[in-house]
Amino acid sequence: MSFGFFGIQFGWGLQMANTSAIFEHLGAHADQIPILWLAAPLTGLVVQPIIGNLSDNTWGFLGRRRPYFLVGAILASLALIWLPNSGSLWMAVGLLWLLDTAANISMEPFRAFVGDLLPAKQRTKGFAMQSLFIGLGAVLASAMPWLLSNVLELSANSTTNNSVPQAVKISFYIGAAFFLGTVMWTVFTTEERPPRDMEAFREQQERRLGIGATVREIYTAFKQMPPTMRQLAWVQGFSWLGMYCVFLYFPPAIAHNLFGATDETSALYSQGIEWAGLCIAAYNAVCFFASFLLPKLAAATSRPIAHALCLACGGVGLISLWFVPSPAWVPLPMIGLGVAWSSILSLPYAMLVGSLPAKKGGIYMGIFNMFIVLPEIIVSLGLGWIMAHLLDNNRLLAVILGGVCFIIAIPFTLRVQEASAQPLMQSSLGSSRETEVVAK
């Protein structure tokens, strides 16, 4: 069920570890990077609730959620092939927009997919399994350019201002194959049962599909948003403010601040970006192993307390980057970031699903993911000015600012009150036997 997340996160991992470096290869300055990422979260703000509503009200030969997995995977794979071959900065920005949109089309229904098919007592494990595959995909994706340039001895250097290293290009080609292949595996090896009352489902489609109906559904869902979801919105907001700072600036910060690179076409800069990729792989490896422990930690304490502890680990890890004496020490703070990342990818969703109304899991997951893209839009619009006027374009300070955001999210996390466990997320596609299991 979750195997497609491996390929999706492989694509995300390549995007997060290399896109800012690609922008710098094409001539972007440090204070321009946030605004160049703006199209991606803006699109997510629109796409996620729409795709959520559509996937709630779709039925075809591939089922309910799986058509969206497949369409998104095809588009994302094409974007992964084209992005490292961009001939200009604005072409790269447009392909980032396409990649992010396509990845959202695939990923957003995946969250609801787990809620559809799993009984309540398995949801923490289900979302932890997603974190497991996300960690595996991100580890391999982040390390891939280093592996190709050092193990296979492909060129790691660029010789002109607009040339992306060969190792990075081939990594993106591999990512395209993994993205499409693993999503196809999930599409063709999982089963979604049709609605028991197809006539009632068709009537539901007429009410909820179409532009006007979709807008009304989203507006109604916002008005009726469960209290747990409102509380988690603040948690997600500050958590993703922090992670977005990492996505934007961590690789260039390692190359510029710790390796001392001043020229984006130099071998030293490429070495710094590759080392940053290995450090990203390290925190994703920690994410992978932490995903096994999160259910036990949540059971021993509570989900809010467990998430708060993980965010504290991430905040301390990022802030401690200011004190590392050399690049060799960077993997140590990555342990804390990996713990936080594993929790961010799973526990908020596990806290959320028990409070969602039946048959609307997709649209509410889409709205919930808006609390990820809204902070990204804020960062894209405001962080460039902060970099230019307050941080002196110091990329490492931007990453440390992300750690501060994690710390701010902790008290909001401790205020979350989960809804009592009940079969709220059970899909109308499930059988009566499945509904009985959830109820028990």
**DSSP secondary structure string, 56-107?**
HT--BTTBSSHHHHHHHHHHHHHHHHHGGG-SSHHHHHHHHHHHHHHHHHHH
pLDDT at 205: 61
C-alpha 177/C-alpha 303 separation (Å) is: 36
SS3 266: coil
pTM: 0.74
pLDDT above 80: residue 400: yes
Predicted local distance difference test score (pLDDT) of residue 358: 66
The DSSP code for 190 is -
Which residues 6+ apart lie within 8 Å of 156 measured at CB?
A: 145, 149, 150, 165, 166, 167, 267, 270, 271, 274
pLDDT at residue number 362: 65
| Residue 439 confidence class, pLDDT cut points 50, 70, 90 | very low
Q: Are 140 and 284 in contact (CB under 8 A)?
A: no
User: What pLDDT band is residue 433 in, cutting at 50, 70 and 90?
Assistant: very low
* Residue 182 resides in a domain: yes
**Assigned domain for 352 exists:** yes
Which pLDDT score, from 0 to 100, does residue 211 have?
A: 64
Per-residue pLDDT at 420: 56
**CATH number of the domain that residue 332 is part of:** 1.20.1250.20
Q: Is 201's pLDDT higher than 70? A: no
Residue 391's domain spans which residues?
4-190+214-439
Is residue 206 one of the residues assigned to a domain?
A: no
Residue-level pLDDT at 426: 35
- Write out pLDDT tens, residues 88-126: 999 999 999 899 889 888 887 877 777 777 777 787 777
Tell me whether residue 200 is in a domain: no
Mean pLDDT within 237-266: 92
* Assigned token pair, 49: 């609730």
pLDDT band (50, 70, 90) for residue 390: very high
Q: What is the pLDDT of residue 64?
A: 77
Mean pLDDT computed over 122-135: 76
- Residue 396 confidence (pLDDT) above 80: yes
* pLDDT tens digit sequence for 404-424: 999 999 999 999 988 754 333
Asked if residue 203 belongs to a domain, the reply is: no
Q: Establish if 354 belongs to a structural domain.
A: yes
Alpha-carbon span 141 to 291, nearest angstrom: 18
Burial class for 437, CB neighbours closer than 10 Å (0-12, 13-18, 19+): middle
Residue 80 falls inside a structural domain: yes
Instruction: Tell me whether residue 377 is in a domain.
Output: yes
pLDDT value at residue 359: 65
Domain count across the chain = 1
With a cut of 60, say whether residue 70 has pLDDT above it. Answer: yes
Mean pLDDT over the full length of the chain: 83
